Amino acid sequence: MTPDLMEEGARRAALLNPPKPAGKTESGGRAAGFSRVAAAPGEVDTTHGRILYLEDVSVSFDGFKAINNLSLDIAPGELRCVIGPNGAGKTTMMDIITGKTRPDSGTVFFGSTIDLLRYTEPQIAQMGIGRKFQKPTVFEQLTVFENLELALKTDKGVKSSMFFRLDTGDSDRLAEMLYTIHLADSVTRLAGTLSHGQKQWLEIGMLLMQDPKLLLLDEPVAGMTDEETARTAELFLTLKGKHSLMVVEHDMSFIKTISEIVTVLCDGSVLAQGTLDQVQADERVIEVYLGR
């Protein structure tokens, strides 16, 4: 098993047994904060029209401001595309949303009530924010089916997973997922034998089995063939509305196919936002892509 897979395995194991929150809470300290997390799944308050809200977020690494007063929000069911030159802070922004990196200042809310800066990375994942890193991290020695089944078990938590049996509802979801991710013909194949693109789809399927409310995807089509990229675009368009998605990509033809609103990040903050045509016509955007 590669170190990446082991790390991913450890992350998924941590989801089964989440640690208590690191931050303080306003009412009742650590224990009260923890019980609120348990109550949180399925209860993201989006009545104000936002599933994710960042305001004035900054983080520095050794004095370098990787994220600089970043503010943006995403509507429920939206498919938001984020573009920007290398080093703009796109991955760091995802690290902050998912609790991997703590910002120095600013506000990060999931819905209008959940302050993400109070929670740990596994807790944030359990609340319904799924993340797809650039490299595929599936369990290579398991079949496609077993990978998806494992994701379902993880979602059910430690107690029920000990006595886990696929019920009819689970089997139906799993079968439907195999079609959604274009792997219905590969159920019994070992994940390690899949193409790069198929592994990416399988990992997306594993995340979807956990029914995330918000899915963050960092360069999902990097390294895919043109055909795989086109099928991934189709897949994302079918997910829109059911899930909220934030997709970071450098592949502009892919962005053109899937995008509504495109956010351009540069030097750790939002440089421009609008349709792809609008941002591509923006002089400042042209400057950062071509002028350096």
Ligand X SMILES: Nc1ncnc2c1ncn2[C@@H]1O[C@H](COP(=O)(O)OP(=O)(O)OP(=O)(O)O)[C@@H](O)[C@H]1O
Q: Given the rule CB under 5 A, which residues bind Mg ion? A: 90-91
Can you give the binding site for ligand X, defined by CB under 6 A?
A: 61, 66, 84, 86-92
* DSSP β-bridge partners for residue 148: none
Residue 45 CB, nearest approach to Mg ion (Å): 30
> Residue 80 binds which entry of ligand X, Mg ion, none, with Cβ cut-offs from 5 to 8 Å by kind?
none
Q: How far is the CB of 257 from ligand X (least distance, A)?
A: 20
Residue 87 binds which entry of ligand X, Mg ion, none, CB below 5-8 Å type-dependent: ligand X
Task: Give the shortest CB-246-to-ligand X separation in angstroms.
Answer: 13
Instruction: Using the minimum distance from each CB to Mg ion, give the nearer residue, 129 or 152.
Output: 129
**Binding partner selected for residue 92 from Mg ion, ligand X, none, CB under the kind-specific 5 to 8 Å limit:** ligand X
Q: Which is nearer to Mg ion, 150 or 217 (CB)?
A: 217
Instruction: Indicate the residue among 175 and 270 with the shorter CB distance to ligand X.
Output: 270
> Please, which residue, 120 or 180, has the CB nearer to ligand X?
120
Closest approach of Cβ 14 to ligand X, in Å?
20
- For residue 32, the minimal CB distance to ligand X (Å) is 32
